[in-house]
Structure 1
Amino acid sequence: MRKPTAFTLLIAVLLVAGCADGPQDAASTATPPVTAPPVTAAPTPTGTAFNPTDIAWLQLTVAMTERLLPVLDLVPARTTDPAWRRTATQVAGTRRADLDRARRLLADAAAPTTNPHEGHDMPGMATAQEMTALRAASGQPFHRLLVGHLRAHLAQSVRIATAEQQNGVQPATVALAEAVVRSGTADLERLDHLDPAEPSIAGSAPPTTRGG
Protein backbone atom coordinates (compact mmCIF):
# COMPACT_ATOMS: atom_id res chain seq x y z
CA MET A 1 0.00 0.00 0.00
CA ARG A 2 1.28 3.48 -0.84
CA LYS A 3 2.01 5.74 2.10
CA PRO A 4 -0.06 8.91 2.33
CA THR A 5 2.12 11.83 1.28
CA ALA A 6 1.75 15.57 1.57
CA PHE A 7 0.57 15.59 -2.03
CA THR A 8 -2.04 12.94 -1.26
CA LEU A 9 -3.40 15.06 1.57
CA LEU A 10 -3.39 18.12 -0.68
CA ILE A 11 -5.50 16.23 -3.22
CA ALA A 12 -7.90 15.33 -0.41
CA VAL A 13 -8.28 19.05 0.23
CA LEU A 14 -8.87 19.74 -3.46
CA LEU A 15 -11.52 17.05 -3.67
CA VAL A 16 -13.72 18.77 -1.11
CA ALA A 17 -12.94 22.26 -2.38
CA GLY A 18 -15.33 24.49 -4.24
CA CYS A 19 -17.97 24.86 -1.54
CA ALA A 20 -19.54 28.30 -1.79
CA ASP A 21 -22.60 30.15 -0.61
CA GLY A 22 -23.31 31.69 -4.02
CA PRO A 23 -24.21 30.02 -7.34
CA GLN A 24 -21.49 28.79 -9.68
CA ASP A 25 -21.29 29.07 -13.46
CA ALA A 26 -22.55 25.75 -14.88
CA ALA A 27 -19.63 25.60 -17.31
CA SER A 28 -16.99 26.30 -14.67
CA THR A 29 -14.74 23.51 -13.50
CA ALA A 30 -12.37 25.69 -11.46
CA THR A 31 -12.04 24.70 -7.81
CA PRO A 32 -11.13 27.48 -5.37
CA PRO A 33 -8.90 26.39 -2.48
CA VAL A 34 -10.56 25.82 0.86
CA THR A 35 -9.61 23.94 3.99
CA ALA A 36 -11.02 20.44 4.07
CA PRO A 37 -12.28 18.90 7.29
CA PRO A 38 -10.05 16.14 8.66
CA VAL A 39 -11.02 12.65 7.54
CA THR A 40 -10.08 9.61 9.57
CA ALA A 41 -9.16 6.51 7.62
CA ALA A 42 -11.16 3.44 8.58
CA PRO A 43 -10.57 -0.25 7.84
CA THR A 44 -12.93 -2.17 5.60
CA PRO A 45 -14.17 -5.61 6.66
CA THR A 46 -11.32 -7.08 4.61
CA GLY A 47 -8.76 -4.91 6.39
CA THR A 48 -7.95 -2.67 3.42
CA ALA A 49 -7.76 0.90 4.69
CA PHE A 50 -9.32 3.95 3.11
CA ASN A 51 -7.13 7.03 3.05
CA PRO A 52 -8.45 10.62 3.28
CA THR A 53 -8.50 10.97 -0.51
CA ASP A 54 -10.71 7.89 -0.85
CA ILE A 55 -13.23 9.20 1.68
CA ALA A 56 -13.23 12.75 0.33
CA TRP A 57 -13.72 11.56 -3.24
CA LEU A 58 -16.56 9.20 -2.34
CA GLN A 59 -18.36 11.92 -0.37
CA LEU A 60 -18.02 14.44 -3.19
CA THR A 61 -19.09 11.88 -5.79
CA VAL A 62 -22.26 11.14 -3.81
CA ALA A 63 -23.02 14.86 -3.40
CA MET A 64 -22.45 15.65 -7.08
CA THR A 65 -24.49 12.70 -8.32
CA GLU A 66 -27.40 13.46 -6.01
CA ARG A 67 -27.49 16.96 -7.50
CA LEU A 68 -27.27 15.73 -11.12
CA LEU A 69 -30.07 13.16 -11.07
CA PRO A 70 -32.90 15.71 -10.62
CA VAL A 71 -31.57 17.50 -13.72
CA LEU A 72 -31.74 14.30 -15.76
CA ASP A 73 -35.18 13.48 -14.36
CA LEU A 74 -36.51 16.63 -16.06
CA VAL A 75 -35.64 15.42 -19.55
CA PRO A 76 -38.76 13.35 -20.42
CA ALA A 77 -41.08 16.27 -19.63
CA ARG A 78 -38.97 19.01 -21.21
CA THR A 79 -38.07 17.51 -24.61
CA THR A 80 -39.40 15.01 -27.13
CA ASP A 81 -36.03 14.70 -28.86
CA PRO A 82 -35.19 10.96 -28.83
CA ALA A 83 -31.43 11.53 -28.87
CA TRP A 84 -31.54 13.68 -25.74
CA ARG A 85 -33.92 11.29 -24.01
CA ARG A 86 -31.66 8.37 -24.84
CA THR A 87 -28.55 10.20 -23.65
CA ALA A 88 -30.20 11.26 -20.39
CA THR A 89 -31.33 7.69 -19.73
CA GLN A 90 -27.84 6.32 -20.37
CA VAL A 91 -26.10 8.90 -18.19
CA ALA A 92 -28.65 8.54 -15.39
CA GLY A 93 -28.33 4.75 -15.38
CA THR A 94 -24.55 4.92 -15.10
CA ARG A 95 -24.62 7.61 -12.42
CA ARG A 96 -27.19 5.76 -10.31
CA ALA A 97 -25.02 2.63 -10.39
CA ASP A 98 -21.96 4.69 -9.41
CA LEU A 99 -23.96 6.33 -6.61
CA ASP A 100 -24.94 2.93 -5.19
CA ARG A 101 -21.32 1.76 -5.26
CA ALA A 102 -20.06 4.95 -3.63
CA ARG A 103 -22.63 4.72 -0.84
CA ARG A 104 -21.70 1.09 -0.16
CA LEU A 105 -18.02 1.98 0.02
CA LEU A 106 -18.70 4.81 2.44
CA ALA A 107 -20.62 2.35 4.59
CA ASP A 108 -17.68 -0.08 4.43
CA ALA A 109 -15.39 2.76 5.53
CA ALA A 110 -17.69 3.61 8.46
CA ALA A 111 -17.64 7.18 7.18
CA PRO A 112 -20.19 9.69 8.52
CA THR A 113 -23.58 9.28 6.89
CA THR A 114 -24.20 13.04 6.80
CA ASN A 115 -23.37 14.87 3.57
CA PRO A 116 -20.57 17.40 4.28
CA HIS A 117 -21.48 19.24 1.06
CA GLU A 118 -25.18 19.68 1.85
CA GLY A 119 -26.35 23.14 0.81
CA HIS A 120 -23.11 23.96 -1.02
CA ASP A 121 -22.98 24.86 -4.71
CA MET A 122 -19.78 23.44 -6.15
CA PRO A 123 -18.40 23.10 -9.67
CA GLY A 124 -20.49 20.56 -11.57
CA MET A 125 -23.60 21.09 -9.46
CA ALA A 126 -26.76 22.80 -10.70
CA THR A 127 -27.91 25.53 -8.31
CA ALA A 128 -31.49 26.14 -7.20
CA GLN A 129 -31.72 29.08 -9.63
CA GLU A 130 -30.41 26.95 -12.49
CA MET A 131 -32.92 24.21 -11.69
CA THR A 132 -35.68 26.81 -11.87
CA ALA A 133 -34.44 27.86 -15.31
CA LEU A 134 -34.33 24.24 -16.47
CA ARG A 135 -37.91 23.62 -15.32
CA ALA A 136 -39.08 26.71 -17.19
CA ALA A 137 -37.43 25.77 -20.51
CA SER A 138 -38.25 23.20 -23.15
CA GLY A 139 -37.03 22.17 -26.58
CA GLN A 140 -33.82 23.78 -27.79
CA PRO A 141 -33.53 26.30 -24.90
CA PHE A 142 -33.72 23.32 -22.53
CA HIS A 143 -31.10 21.43 -24.57
CA ARG A 144 -28.69 24.36 -24.35
CA LEU A 145 -29.06 24.56 -20.57
CA LEU A 146 -28.86 20.79 -20.19
CA VAL A 147 -25.69 20.38 -22.23
CA GLY A 148 -23.99 23.07 -20.15
CA HIS A 149 -24.83 21.34 -16.88
CA LEU A 150 -23.91 17.90 -18.18
CA ARG A 151 -20.54 19.09 -19.50
CA ALA A 152 -19.74 20.85 -16.23
CA HIS A 153 -20.70 17.81 -14.17
CA LEU A 154 -18.91 15.27 -16.35
CA ALA A 155 -15.72 17.33 -16.68
CA GLN A 156 -15.52 17.86 -12.92
CA SER A 157 -16.32 14.20 -12.24
CA VAL A 158 -13.52 13.03 -14.54
CA ARG A 159 -11.12 15.54 -12.98
CA ILE A 160 -11.65 14.45 -9.39
CA ALA A 161 -11.88 10.76 -10.29
CA THR A 162 -8.48 11.06 -11.97
CA ALA A 163 -7.09 12.52 -8.74
CA GLU A 164 -8.56 9.56 -6.85
CA GLN A 165 -6.97 7.13 -9.31
CA GLN A 166 -3.59 8.73 -8.68
CA ASN A 167 -3.81 9.16 -4.92
CA GLY A 168 -6.41 6.77 -3.53
CA VAL A 169 -5.36 3.48 -1.95
CA GLN A 170 -8.54 1.46 -1.37
CA PRO A 171 -8.79 -0.93 -4.34
CA ALA A 172 -12.57 -0.90 -4.77
CA THR A 173 -12.67 2.88 -4.52
CA VAL A 174 -9.88 3.32 -7.05
CA ALA A 175 -11.66 0.85 -9.34
CA LEU A 176 -14.84 2.94 -9.11
CA ALA A 177 -12.83 6.05 -9.97
CA GLU A 178 -11.44 4.30 -13.03
CA ALA A 179 -14.99 3.42 -14.10
CA VAL A 180 -16.11 7.04 -13.59
CA VAL A 181 -13.26 8.30 -15.77
CA ARG A 182 -14.14 5.85 -18.54
CA SER A 183 -17.87 6.50 -18.50
CA GLY A 184 -17.47 10.24 -18.03
CA THR A 185 -15.09 10.52 -20.96
CA ALA A 186 -17.44 8.46 -23.13
CA ASP A 187 -20.40 10.60 -22.10
CA LEU A 188 -18.52 13.79 -22.95
CA GLU A 189 -17.75 12.38 -26.39
CA ARG A 190 -21.43 11.48 -26.77
CA LEU A 191 -22.37 15.08 -26.03
CA ASP A 192 -20.03 16.22 -28.79
CA HIS A 193 -22.36 14.48 -31.27
CA LEU A 194 -25.43 16.27 -29.97
CA ASP A 195 -25.68 19.78 -31.39
CA PRO A 196 -28.24 21.68 -29.30
CA ALA A 197 -28.42 24.38 -31.98
CA GLU A 198 -29.75 21.94 -34.57
CA PRO A 199 -33.20 20.43 -33.89
CA SER A 200 -33.55 16.77 -34.73
CA ILE A 201 -36.04 15.62 -37.35
CA ALA A 202 -38.20 14.20 -34.57
CA GLY A 203 -38.49 17.72 -33.24
CA SER A 204 -38.64 19.05 -29.74
CA ALA A 205 -41.31 20.77 -27.78
CA PRO A 206 -41.56 24.43 -28.82
CA PRO A 207 -39.59 26.86 -26.65
CA THR A 208 -41.39 28.49 -23.80
CA THR A 209 -40.84 32.02 -22.59
CA ARG A 210 -38.79 32.09 -19.40
CA GLY A 211 -39.21 34.78 -16.88
CA GLY A 212 -36.28 36.51 -15.22
Structure 2
Amino acid sequence: MKVSTIGASVLVVLTVLLVSRCVAAEPQTHSAVNHPPSRSGPAALPTPTGSVSGSFNGTDIAWLQLMIPMTEQAARLLELAPGKTSNPRLKRFAEEYVADRRTTLQELRDLLRRSGVPESNEHEGHDIPGMVIPNDFAALKRADGEAFDRLFTKDAREYLTQSVLVAKGLQKSGADPETKAFAAALEKTYSGQLPRLEP
Protein backbone atom coordinates (compact mmCIF):
# COMPACT_ATOMS: atom_id res chain seq x y z
CA MET A 1 0.00 0.00 0.00
CA LYS A 2 1.47 3.33 -1.01
CA VAL A 3 0.65 6.94 -0.17
CA SER A 4 -0.46 7.58 -3.72
CA THR A 5 -3.04 4.79 -3.62
CA ILE A 6 -4.83 5.64 -0.38
CA GLY A 7 -6.91 8.62 0.65
CA ALA A 8 -5.62 11.29 3.01
CA SER A 9 -8.02 10.31 5.79
CA VAL A 10 -6.91 6.68 5.58
CA LEU A 11 -3.30 7.80 5.72
CA VAL A 12 -3.93 9.83 8.86
CA VAL A 13 -5.56 6.83 10.54
CA LEU A 14 -2.69 4.59 9.44
CA THR A 15 -0.14 7.04 10.80
CA VAL A 16 -1.88 7.19 14.15
CA LEU A 17 -1.96 3.39 14.26
CA LEU A 18 1.69 3.07 13.31
CA VAL A 19 2.93 5.56 15.85
CA SER A 20 0.59 5.38 18.83
CA ARG A 21 -0.81 1.85 18.84
CA CYS A 22 1.42 0.63 21.62
CA VAL A 23 1.59 3.71 23.87
CA ALA A 24 -0.26 1.87 26.63
CA ALA A 25 1.57 -1.43 26.13
CA GLU A 26 3.69 -2.65 29.03
CA PRO A 27 7.12 -4.00 27.99
CA GLN A 28 7.58 -7.78 28.28
CA THR A 29 9.96 -9.85 26.15
CA HIS A 30 11.33 -8.72 22.82
CA SER A 31 10.34 -10.76 19.78
CA ALA A 32 12.13 -10.64 16.42
CA VAL A 33 9.47 -12.67 14.64
CA ASN A 34 9.06 -11.81 10.97
CA HIS A 35 5.46 -10.93 10.19
CA PRO A 36 3.82 -11.91 6.90
CA PRO A 37 3.33 -9.29 4.19
CA SER A 38 0.28 -7.10 4.54
CA ARG A 39 -0.97 -5.65 1.27
CA SER A 40 -4.65 -5.23 2.14
CA GLY A 41 -4.23 -3.13 5.27
CA PRO A 42 -1.69 -1.59 7.63
CA ALA A 43 0.95 -3.85 9.12
CA ALA A 44 0.39 -4.29 12.83
CA LEU A 45 3.25 -2.89 14.85
CA PRO A 46 4.68 -5.44 17.25
CA THR A 47 4.54 -4.43 20.87
CA PRO A 48 7.97 -2.98 21.60
CA THR A 49 9.45 -4.96 24.45
CA GLY A 50 12.68 -5.76 26.24
CA SER A 51 14.55 -3.73 28.82
CA VAL A 52 13.33 -0.32 27.81
CA SER A 53 15.09 2.68 29.33
CA GLY A 54 12.85 4.69 31.66
CA SER A 55 12.72 7.72 29.36
CA PHE A 56 11.32 5.75 26.39
CA ASN A 57 7.75 4.62 25.86
CA GLY A 58 6.25 2.22 23.35
CA THR A 59 5.67 4.95 20.78
CA ASP A 60 9.34 5.95 20.84
CA ILE A 61 10.40 2.36 20.21
CA ALA A 62 7.77 1.76 17.52
CA TRP A 63 8.83 4.94 15.70
CA LEU A 64 12.51 3.96 15.78
CA GLN A 65 11.70 0.42 14.62
CA LEU A 66 9.74 1.88 11.70
CA MET A 67 12.15 4.66 10.73
CA ILE A 68 15.26 2.46 10.67
CA PRO A 69 14.14 0.20 7.79
CA MET A 70 12.42 3.11 6.02
CA THR A 71 15.66 5.11 6.15
CA GLU A 72 17.77 2.13 5.05
CA GLN A 73 15.61 1.74 1.96
CA ALA A 74 15.59 5.48 1.28
CA ALA A 75 19.40 5.50 1.33
CA ARG A 76 19.43 2.64 -1.19
CA LEU A 77 16.99 4.57 -3.36
CA LEU A 78 19.20 7.67 -3.30
CA GLU A 79 22.31 5.62 -4.08
CA LEU A 80 20.61 4.15 -7.15
CA ALA A 81 19.53 7.46 -8.68
CA PRO A 82 22.77 9.08 -9.92
CA GLY A 83 23.51 6.20 -12.29
CA LYS A 84 19.94 5.90 -13.58
CA THR A 85 18.33 9.31 -13.77
CA SER A 86 18.35 11.52 -16.85
CA ASN A 87 17.36 14.54 -14.77
CA PRO A 88 20.21 16.71 -13.37
CA ARG A 89 17.88 18.07 -10.66
CA LEU A 90 17.07 14.58 -9.36
CA LYS A 91 20.72 13.57 -9.59
CA ARG A 92 21.69 16.55 -7.41
CA PHE A 93 18.87 15.74 -4.98
CA ALA A 94 20.08 12.14 -4.58
CA GLU A 95 23.74 13.06 -4.28
CA GLU A 96 23.07 15.79 -1.72
CA TYR A 97 20.94 13.66 0.59
CA VAL A 98 22.40 10.16 0.51
CA ALA A 99 25.06 10.93 3.14
CA ASP A 100 22.39 12.64 5.26
CA ARG A 101 20.31 9.44 5.24
CA ARG A 102 23.33 7.41 6.38
CA THR A 103 23.88 9.86 9.25
CA THR A 104 20.17 9.78 10.11
CA LEU A 105 20.24 5.99 10.11
CA GLN A 106 23.16 5.96 12.57
CA GLU A 107 21.38 8.42 14.87
CA LEU A 108 18.19 6.33 14.81
CA ARG A 109 20.21 3.21 15.68
CA ASP A 110 22.00 5.06 18.49
CA LEU A 111 18.65 6.11 19.96
CA LEU A 112 17.30 2.56 19.74
CA ARG A 113 20.47 1.22 21.37
CA ARG A 114 20.08 3.75 24.21
CA SER A 115 16.50 2.54 24.70
CA GLY A 116 17.81 -0.93 25.55
CA VAL A 117 15.77 -2.64 22.81
CA PRO A 118 17.87 -4.68 20.35
CA GLU A 119 17.57 -3.83 16.68
CA SER A 120 15.46 -6.12 14.53
CA ASN A 121 13.43 -5.45 11.41
CA GLU A 122 9.87 -5.74 12.70
CA HIS A 123 8.59 -4.67 9.27
CA GLU A 124 10.40 -7.19 7.07
CA GLY A 125 8.18 -7.92 4.08
CA HIS A 126 5.59 -5.28 4.96
CA ASP A 127 4.33 -3.05 2.18
CA ILE A 128 3.50 0.09 4.12
CA PRO A 129 3.44 3.77 3.16
CA GLY A 130 6.91 5.25 2.88
CA MET A 131 8.73 1.93 2.63
CA VAL A 132 10.58 1.25 -0.62
CA ILE A 133 10.08 -2.50 -1.02
CA PRO A 134 11.85 -5.10 -3.22
CA ASN A 135 9.20 -4.82 -5.96
CA ASP A 136 9.82 -1.07 -6.07
CA PHE A 137 13.56 -1.62 -6.45
CA ALA A 138 13.00 -4.20 -9.18
CA ALA A 139 10.88 -1.71 -11.12
CA LEU A 140 13.46 1.03 -10.59
CA LYS A 141 16.29 -1.16 -11.85
CA ARG A 142 14.32 -2.04 -15.01
CA ALA A 143 13.45 1.60 -15.73
CA ASP A 144 15.57 4.20 -17.50
CA GLY A 145 15.30 7.89 -18.27
CA GLU A 146 11.94 9.51 -17.62
CA ALA A 147 10.36 6.21 -16.48
CA PHE A 148 13.01 5.92 -13.76
CA ASP A 149 12.57 9.58 -12.84
CA ARG A 150 8.82 9.12 -12.30
CA LEU A 151 9.30 6.04 -10.11
CA PHE A 152 12.16 7.60 -8.15
CA THR A 153 10.20 10.80 -7.52
CA LYS A 154 7.12 8.87 -6.41
CA ASP A 155 9.05 6.65 -3.99
CA ALA A 156 11.17 9.50 -2.59
CA ARG A 157 8.09 11.69 -2.10
CA GLU A 158 6.21 8.88 -0.34
CA TYR A 159 9.17 8.26 1.97
CA LEU A 160 9.47 11.94 2.91
CA THR A 161 5.71 12.43 3.30
CA GLN A 162 5.27 9.40 5.55
CA SER A 163 8.39 10.29 7.56
CA VAL A 164 6.97 13.76 8.23
CA LEU A 165 3.61 12.32 9.32
CA VAL A 166 5.04 9.77 11.73
CA ALA A 167 7.54 12.33 13.09
CA LYS A 168 4.58 14.57 13.96
CA GLY A 169 2.86 11.65 15.66
CA LEU A 170 5.98 10.81 17.66
CA GLN A 171 6.28 14.37 18.92
CA LYS A 172 2.74 14.16 20.30
CA SER A 173 2.86 10.65 21.77
CA GLY A 174 6.53 9.91 22.45
CA ALA A 175 8.23 10.30 25.82
CA ASP A 176 12.01 10.41 25.34
CA PRO A 177 13.07 14.07 24.95
CA GLU A 178 16.04 13.32 22.66
CA THR A 179 13.94 11.10 20.38
CA LYS A 180 11.19 13.72 20.19
CA ALA A 181 13.74 16.44 19.39
CA PHE A 182 15.23 14.27 16.66
CA ALA A 183 11.76 13.64 15.21
CA ALA A 184 11.11 17.39 15.20
CA ALA A 185 14.38 18.00 13.35
CA LEU A 186 13.54 15.31 10.78
CA GLU A 187 10.05 16.75 10.27
CA LYS A 188 11.50 20.19 9.52
CA THR A 189 14.27 18.85 7.26
CA TYR A 190 12.06 16.49 5.28
CA SER A 191 9.28 19.05 4.90
CA GLY A 192 11.91 21.35 3.38
CA GLN A 193 13.08 18.62 0.98
CA LEU A 194 9.63 17.73 -0.36
CA PRO A 195 9.25 20.82 -2.60
CA ARG A 196 12.43 19.80 -4.44
CA LEU A 197 10.56 16.78 -5.76
CA GLU A 198 7.78 18.81 -7.32
CA PRO A 199 7.76 18.87 -11.17
TM category, shorter: 0.7 to 0.9
Give the structure 1 partner of residue 108 of structure 2: 102
Residues 62-77 of structure 1: matches in 2 within 5 Å?
62-77=68-83
Write out per-residue CA displacement over residues 9-48 of structure 1, whole angstroms, 9 at most, x where no aligned residue.
9843289xxx762558xxxxxx7373632435622xxxx6
* Contact 1:12/1:36 (8 A) holds in 2: no
Q: Which stretches in structure 2 are left out of the alignment for 5+ residues?
A: 1-15, 24-34
Give the structure 2 partner of residue 61 of structure 1: 67
Letter in 1 for 2:69: A
* Contact 2:18/2:45 (8 A) holds in 1: no
Of 6, 9, 21, which aligns to 1:13? 21
Report whether the alignment pairs 1:157 with 2:163.
Answer: yes
* Contact 2:78/2:94 (8 A) holds in 1: yes
Letter in 2 for 1:99: L
* Contact 1:40/1:52 (8 A) holds in 2: no
Give the structure 1 partner of residue 191 of structure 2: 185
Letter in 1 for 2:64: L
CA distance in 2, matches of 1:23, 1:35: 14
* Contact 2:48/2:62 (8 A) holds in 1: no
Letter in 2 for 1:42: V
Task: Tell me the CA shift for residue 93 of structure 1.
Answer: 2.5
Give the structure 1 partner of residue 7 of structure 2: none
CA distance in 1, matches of 2:147, 2:104: 29
Task: Tell me the CA shift for residue 94 of structure 1.
Answer: 2.4
Letter in 1 for 2:21: V
Report whether the alignment pairs 1:39 with 2:39.
Answer: no
CA distance in 2, matches of 1:75, 1:101: 24
Task: Tell me the CA shift for residue 162 of structure 1.
Answer: 0.4
Letter in 2 for 1:13: R
Q: TM-score scaled by structure 1? A: 0.72
Structure 2 vs 1, CA of residues 106 and 95 (structure 1 numbering), >3 Å: closer, same or farther? same
CA RMSD of aligned residues (A): 2.6
* Contact 2:51/2:116 (8 A) holds in 1: no
Task: Tell me the CA shift for residue 123 of structure 1.
Answer: 1.1
* Divergent runs of 4+, >6 A: none
CA distance in 2, matches of 1:179, 1:59: 18
Structure 2 vs 1, CA of residues 10 and 121 (structure 1 numbering), >3 Å: closer, same or farther? closer
Give the structure 2 partner of residue 5 of structure 1: none
Residue aligned with 2:78, SS: helix
Residue aligned with 1:173, SS: helix
Letter in 2 for 1:91: Y
Q: Identity rate of aligned residues, in percent?
A: 36
Letter in 1 for 2:37: D
Number of residue equivalences: 173
Give the structure 2 partner of residue 117 of structure 1: 123
CA distance in 1, matches of 2:66, 2:19: 13
Write out per-residue CA displacement over residues 151-192 of structure 1, whole angstroms, 9 at most, x where no aligned residue.
111111000000011111111101110111011101111112
* Contact 1:23/1:121 (8 A) holds in 2: yes
Give the structure 2 partner of residue 175 of structure 1: 181
* Contact 1:13/1:36 (8 A) holds in 2: no
Give the structure 2 partner of residue 49 of structure 1: 55
Report whether the alignment pairs 1:131 with 2:140.
Answer: no
